[in-house]
Amino acid sequence: NSKVIQTPRYLVKGQGQKAKMRCIPEKGHPVVFWYQQNKNNEFKFLINFQNQEVLQQIDMTEKRFSAECPSNSPCSLEIQSSEAGDSALYLCASRDRGQNTLYFGAGTRLSVL
């Protein structure tokens, strides 16, 4: 069973507001992924980290999101100015170095009104 912890489970924001969600990866997992799952079940990769360093991110994330994975603190993903189209389930996953199996948290469901 996964031990990735995501908070909060639900987040409601108005358009233009900041929306911040957190993720604690499984202990000892240095690689963290963030995905967005929309209402059509489409997964969009947003960003991944190894330890505190960004490995890859998409253009949207670079422009509109702020993400970090500081040592000894939860990882976080923050939308700087929420848009209606950001309403989705945000999933965090972690994996161990050298392993390819991903372990997911329960997700943060964001609703932007």
Partner 1 sequence: GQQVQQSPASLVLQEGENAELQCNFSSTATQLQWFYQSPGGSLVSLLSNPSGTKHTGRLTSTTVTKERRSSLHISSSQTTDSGTYLCATATSGGNYKPTFGKGTSLVVHP
86 token code pair: 């950001």
Which listed residue (14, 39, 40, 84) binds partner 1 by CB under 8 A?
A: 40
Which listed residue (27, 41, 59, 63) binds partner 1 by CB under 8 A?
A: 41
- Give how far Cα 75 sits from Cα of 14, 84, 85, Å: 23, 24, 23
Q: Could you give the CA distance from residue 49 to residue 88 in angstroms, rounded to a whole number?
A: 21
The H or E element spanning position 61 is helix 59-64
Q: Minimal distance in Å, beta carbon 30 to partner 1? A: 13
Closer residue to partner 1 in complex, CB, 48/87: 48
- Give the binding site for partner 1 (CB under 8 A): 1-2, 33, 35, 37, 40-43, 45, 48, 55-56, 89, 91, 93, 100-107, 109
